[in-house]
Amino acid sequence: MREGQNAVIYRADYQAPAYWIDTVDLCFDLDPAKTRVLNKMKVRRNPDVPAQALKLDGDELNLARVLVNGQGTSFKMEGDRLVLENLPEGHEPFDLEIFTTCAPARNSKLMGLYVSNESFFTQCEAEGFRRITYFLDRPDVMASYTVTLRADKQKYPVLLSNGNLVDQGDLGDGRHFAKWVDPHRKPCYLFALVAGQLVCREQKIRSRGGKDHLLQVYVRPGDLDKTEHAMNSLIASVAWDEARFKLPLDLERFMIVATSDFNMGAMENKGLNIFNTKYVLASQATATDTDFSNIESVVGHEYFHNWSGNRVTCRDWFQLSLKEGLTVFRDQEFSQDLAGEASARAVKRIEDVRVLRTAQFPEDAGPMAHPVRPEQYLEINNFYTVTVYEKGAEVVRMMQTLVGREGFERGITLYFQRHDGQAVTCDDFAQAIADANPGSQLQQLLEPFRRWYSQAGTPRVHARTQWDAASGTYTVDFTQHCPPTPGQAEKQPSVIPIAWGLLDASGREVGQGMFVLTEASQRLTVPGLTAEPVPSLLRGFSAPVILEWDASDEQLLALLEHDTDPFNRWEAGQRLAVRRALAAIEGSGVVELDTSFIEAMRNILRHPNLDAAFKELVLTLPAEAYIAEQLEVVDPQRVHAVRESMREQLATALVDDWAWAYEQNHENGAYSPDPVSSGRRALAGLALAHLCIAARKSNDTVWPGKAYQRFKDASNMTDRFNALAALVVSGQDLARPALDKFHGMFRDEALVLDKWFSLQAGAPDRGGNVLPIVRQLMQHPDFNIRNPNRARSLIFSYCSANPGAFHRPDAAGYVFWGDRVMELDAINPQVAARLARALDRWRKLAEPMRSAAREAIARVAGKPDLSNDVREVVTRALAD
C-alpha cells in the first residue's frame, strides 16, 4: 500500500481555493476492470487569491491526457496531486479536460467508484471523488454537473446519477447510455453514480406547495418486498420537513439506492442517496423493530441533509458538525414527532441519550477526544464521530432550548435565507439562530456558548442542595468544571441550560424552570416552599454534561416513582442501579440487591399506566460500558460479573412479575412497528430473557421450552430474535439447536446472518468460550471480512460490544484485535480504523489487561505501511 506519511491538517490553515470550477461534464465508460473517465471542466482563477498553480487532488488514478482549451499542456505530479502551472492568465474561464482510468473491481476501500454484487456504486464523502477524477476535492468548490454513463446494457440496465435524466439510448454493440443533469450546484462529495441490475419501488407525491415529485427506492431484484417501510419513511420525511421547517423538496426526482457493501449507514448524495442495505430493507420476517426504527431515522437523516448539508454545505471538513450535528438533531426531532405522544417521545429521547453517554462520553474522555469542531486531523474519515454527530446534535438542541421552539424555527429560516447555495461554518449557523432571536439568552450568551464548538471534554456539573425550613427556601449550588483533554489543558465555563423541577412528598410538582449555568459556580434559589422538595435536575437531559449529585436513595426512589419528567424518572432508576454496581465493583465484588430497589423495579414493571416501552428501558440495567466510565480503574470482567449478578437477582426476585409481564405483552396481533406494539414486544422480550435466566438458576425447563417454541413459531423477527437471544444470553442448552435452525432458515438473508454472527460474538462469556467461537466463525463459509456489515457483525461485536469477553487477562482478545486491525487495514482502512478504536480506553484498564492492551496497540503502531486512518488512531492512543 502507498498511503504516504501525510501531514496533519489544521483548521487555522484554511485558505480559499485558488481556482473555481463552475461546470463539470463527466463521461464514464463503465467497466469493472478499467473504467474510463473523461472530465471536462470550466475553470477560472479565484480573483480574491494571489495567482498560483492549480493543484488537483487524485488518488489511485491512471492519468492518460490533460488538455487546456483543447491543447496539450505541461503538468507535473506532487505526490498524488496533479499540478498545472502554465494556465491562461486573467480571470476568464478556461476549459480543462482530464482523461483518466480507474479499477472499480479492485477498489476494496469502498471509497470512490467500486463494484458491489456486480453493480457500480460511488462513495465520495469525504475525499472519495479524487479517486474518480482529478479535482479540487474540497466542499467549498461547488459546480454544476452533467454526467453521461455508458455501459453494457444487459449487465447494467439501470444507469443513475444526480439530478434529472435528460437523454438515454442505445450505443449499438450491446451498450447503452444515460445522461443526467443536476440542476443544483454542489460540492463534489455529493456526486454519485449507480449502475447495475436494480429494480425500484416508486411513488408519486404532491407536496404542500403543489409540486409533483417522483420518489424511488432501488434494490436488487428479490428485495422489492422489503422496501415499503423505507418508502413510507421517505414520504413522511418530505412531509415533516415541509411542515416543521418549511423546507420543501427541491427536486423532481429523489432516489434511494441500497448496496450491501458500504462503509457507513448511508450517504446524502444530491437526489441520489446511497444506503447500506441495513437501513433500507425491512420485512416483518427479517427485520426487528429496532431495524424499522433505524430505517426511519436514517432515511430521514439523509433526506434532511438535502437542506442541511446540500443546499447549505460545509466550508471545510472541520465544519462537519454544521451538517451532521444539525441533521442528527433534525432526524431525532423527526422520530420524536412521528412517535407522537409524550411517553413515546421520551422513549426516543432516552435512547438517544443512552447512545451519547455510552459512546460519546467515553470518546470525550479518551485519546481521540476532540471538539465538535475539531482543530486538526490526519485523516478526516476518523472524525465522523459520535462527538461530531451526537454531541453536535446536543449543541443544536441546547440552542433550541435557549431560544424556544418557535425561535429556533425562525433561526433555521434565517440560516437558509442567508446561506442558501453557500459553503459556511459552524459559527455562521450559531450566528443565524442568535440573530433571529434578538434578546434571547442565546443571543446574549453567544460568545461563551460557542465554546461548545471549540472545547473538547464532557463538562461535569456538581449540584449541592440545601433546604432552609425557616424561610421556606430551597437552593441548589451548581459548580462546573471540565477535565483536560489531549491538547487542551485549560477549559472555560460552558453555557449549560439546566431544566429543573421540584416535587413535594406526594410527588406533585411545586416548582419548575430553566436555569442557565454560565459561571464556574452559581446558585439557583427557589423561595416560597412549605416543605423540603425533591429536586429533579437536568430534566430531559437538557445539556450534554455529567451531573454529579449526591442524591439519597430516598430521593431517587421518589423520582423513580413520581417524576413528571419521564427522562429523569428513568435516570433515577439508572442512578440507583449504577450506585449498587459501583459499590460491589469497588468493594467485595459481590452484589446483593436490597428490597427497596427490587420493590421499586417491581412497581415500575407492574405499573398500571406506564407504557411497555418505558418499562423496558427502566428495567434494563445500565450498560457495562456506562458503568465502566464511572470507574477510575476498570476490570471489565468484574464489571460484567457484577452486572450479570444484578440481572440474575432481578430475574429471580421478580420471576412472577416477569411471567405476568410476558403474558400481558407477548400477543400483539398483526405486526406493525409502531411505538406501542414495538414497546410491548421489547418488554415481552426482556421478560423472556429474565425468565430464562431465572430458569437456569433453578434448573427449570419450562421457560426455556417456551422460549424455544416462540423462537420457532414467531411471526416476526423481533419476537423470533428476542426468543433466540433469551436462550443465548441465559446459556440454555437449547441455544445451540436454535442457532443452527436460525441459520438454516435465513441462509439467504445477509442482514439476518449478520444478526446471527453478532449474537454469538456478543454473548456473555462462559469460561472464556466466546473468543474460540469467534475464531471458529471467522472460518464459517458465510463469513467475509471484505464486507463491512459482516466484519462488524462478528469482529466488532466481539471487540467493541462484548467487554466481558474481550478483555481477557491472557491478552488473547487483544492479539485477535491487532491481527484483525492489520488484516482489515490492507482491505479497508476506514473500517480498520473504527476497529482500532476498540482499545481507546486502555489506560483505564486494570493490570494485567492494561499492559497487554498497550503492547497490542504498539504492535499495530509498529507495522510499516499503516494507513493514515489506523496510524492516527493508534498514535493518539499511545500518546502521553
Q: How far apart are the C-alpha atoms of 360 and 298, rounded to whole Å?
A: 19
DSSP, collapsed to helix, strand or coil, labels residue 456 as coil
CB 375 within 8 A of CB 12: yes
Nearest CA among 191, 192, 156 for reference residue 171: 156
Q: What is the chain's alpha carbon radius of gyration, rounded to the nearest angstrom?
A: 28
CB of 399 to ligand TRP, least distance (A): 20
Minimum distance of ligand TRP from residue 373's CB (angstroms):
16
User: Exposed/middle/buried for 21, CB within 10 Å: 0-12, 13-18, 19+?
Assistant: buried
Residues whose CB is less than 8 angstroms from the CB of residue 548 and which lie 6 or more positions away in sequence, other chains included: 460, 461, 462, 463
CB of 644 within 8 A of CB of 624? Answer: no
Which of 221, 236, 222, 227 shows the shortest CA–CA distance to 201? Answer: 227
Residue 485 interacts with, from Zn ion, ligand TRP, none (CB under 5-8 Å by kind): none
Under the binding rule (CB under 6 A), the answer on residue 123 touching ligand TRP is yes
Nearer to Zn ion, 189 or 500 (CB): 189
Report, in Å, the least distance between residue 306 CB and ligand TRP. 12
SS3 sequence of 290-354: HHHHHHHHHHHHHHHCCCECCCEEECCHHHHHHHHHHHHHHHHHHHHHHHCCHHHHHHHHHHHHH
Quote the CA–CA distance of 32 and 860 in Å, as a whole number: 33
238 binds, among ligand TRP, Zn ion, none (CB under 5 to 8 A by kind): none
Question: DSSP state, 69?
Answer: T
CA angle 158, 160, 163 (to 5 degrees): 145
Contact flag: residue 329 with ligand TRP (CB under 6 A) = no
Q: How far is the CB of 658 from ligand TRP (least distance, A)?
A: 39
CB-based burial, 756-788: b 16+ in 10 Å, e otherwise: bbbbbbbbbbeeeebbebbeebeeeeebebebb
- Per rule CB under 6 A, is residue 384 in the interface with ligand TRP? yes
Beta carbon of residue 369, minimum distance to ligand TRP (angstroms, whole number): 20
Between CA 366 and CA 361 the distance in angstroms is 9
Among the listed residues 37, 256, 267, 877, the single contact to ligand TRP using CB under 6 A: 267
x-or-dash string of contact with ligand TRP, 337-356, rule CB under 6 A:
--------------------
* Residue 817 interface partner, choices ligand TRP, Zn ion, none, CB cut-off 5-8 Å depending on type: none
Residue 787, C-beta contacts closer than 8 angstroms, at least 6 positions apart? 260, 261
Which partner from the list Zn ion, ligand TRP, none does 472 bind, CB cut-off 5 to 8 Å by kind?
A: none
- Cα 17 to Cα 759: distance, rounded to the nearest angstrom: 49
Q: Of the ranges 146-154, 321-329, 412-420, 702-710, which one interacts with Zn ion (CB under 5 A)?
A: 321-329
The sign of the torsion formed by the CA atoms of 147, 153, 155, 156 equals: positive
Region of 506 (left: φ > 0; alpha: ψ -120 to 50; beta: rest) is alpha
Residue 401 sits in the site that holds ligand TRP (CB under 6 A) = no
CB of 126 to ligand TRP, least distance (A): 6
**Binding flag, residue 266, ligand TRP (CB under 6 A):** yes
Torsion 486-491-496-501 (CA) sign: positive
State the DSSP string of 180-207: EE-SS-EEGGG--EEEES-EEEEEEEE-
Stretch that binds Zn ion, among 324-332, 565-573, 808-816, 837-845 (CB under 5 A): 324-332
> Could you tell me which stretch among 24-32, 262-270, 448-456, 667-675 binds ligand TRP (CB under 6 A)?
262-270
> Closest-CB residue for ligand TRP?
264
Shortest Cβ 650–ligand TRP spacing (Å)? 37
Partner whose footprint covers residue 125, from ligand TRP, Zn ion, none (CB < 5 to 8 Å by kind): ligand TRP
Active site residue 302: yes
Q: Which of the choices Zn ion, ligand TRP, none does residue 360 contact, using the CB cut-off of 5 to 8 A by kind?
A: none
Smaller CB separation from ligand TRP, 384 or 541: 384
Q: Which stretch binds Zn ion (CB under 5 A): 230-238, 317-325, 402-410, 782-790?
A: 317-325
Q: Residue 216's closest CA among 151, 148, 287, 160?
A: 160
Query: Pattern of binders to Zn ion over 326-365, x per CB under 5 A?
Result: -x--------------------------------------
Instruction: Candidates 137-145, 263-271, 337-345, 851-859: pick the segment binding ligand TRP (CB under 6 A).
Output: 263-271
Nearer to ligand TRP, 322 or 723 (CB): 322
- Is the CB of 96 or the CB of 328 nearer to ligand TRP? 328
**C-alpha of 532 from chain center:** 42
The two beta strands, 119-123 and 112-116, are antiparallel
Q: Which is nearer to Zn ion, 161 or 327 (CB)?
A: 327
**Nearest approach, Cβ of 265 to Zn ion (angstroms)?**
8
Q: Please identify, using beta-carbon distances, which residue of 121 and 549 lies nearer to Zn ion.
A: 121
Least distance (Å) between residue 302 CB and Zn ion: 7
**Sign of the dihedral through C-alpha 64, 66, 67, 73:** negative
Closest CB to ligand TRP among 107 and 263?
263
Residues 58-87 that bind Zn ion (CB under 5 A): none
CA distance 320 to 138: 12
Neighbouring C-beta atoms of residue 387, cutoff 10 Å? 27
123 is in the binding site of which of Zn ion, ligand TRP, none (Cβ under 5 to 8 A by kind)?
Answer: ligand TRP
Q: Please say whether the beta carbons of 701 and 695 come within 8 A.
A: yes
Q: Which of residues 292-321 bind ligand TRP (CB under 6 A)?
A: 301
Measured from the CB atom, the residue of 143 and 266 that comes closer to ligand TRP is: 266
3-state secondary structure of 36: strand
CB closer to Zn ion, 284 vs 830: 830
CB closer to ligand TRP, 31 vs 125: 125
Stretch that binds ligand TRP, among 260-268, 280-288, 517-525, 539-547 (CB under 6 A): 260-268
Nearer to Zn ion, 363 or 624 (CB): 363
DSSP 554-581: HHHHHHHHH-SSHHHHHHHHHHHHHHHH
**For Zn ion, the closer CB: 453 or 708:** 453
Closer residue to ligand TRP, CB minimum distance, 267 or 442: 267
CA distance 132 to 175: 21
Count interface residues toward Zn ion (CB under 5 A). Answer: 2
C-alpha to C-alpha distance for 357 and 621, rounded to whole angstroms: 14
In angstroms, what is the minimal distance from the CB of 389 to ligand TRP? 8
- Which among ligand TRP, Zn ion, none contacts residue 266 (Cβ within 5 to 8 A by kind)? ligand TRP
- Of 227, 263, 335, 868, which one interacts with ligand TRP (CB under 6 A)? 263
Query: Could you give the string, one character per residue 268-287, with x where binding to ligand TRP holds by CB under 6 A and - elsewhere?
Result: x-------------------
Q: Which of 268, 302, 616, 629 is catalytic?
A: 302
Provide the 3-class DSSP secondary structure of residue 278.
Answer: helix
Task: Indicate which of ligand TRP, Zn ion, none lies near residue 277 (CB less than 5 to 8 Å, by partner kind).
Answer: none
Q: Shortest approach of ligand TRP to residue 276 CB, angstroms? A: 8
Q: Which does 384 bind (CB under 5 to 8 A by kind): Zn ion, ligand TRP, none?
A: ligand TRP
φ, ψ dihedrals at 449, nearest 5°:
-60, -35
- Tell me, rounded to whole angstroms, the distance of Cα 51 from its chain centroid: 42
Amino acid occupying residue 710: R
Binding site for Zn ion (CB under 5 A): 324, 327
Q: Which residues are catalytic?
A: 302
Binding site for ligand TRP (CB under 6 A): 123, 125-126, 263-268, 301, 324, 384
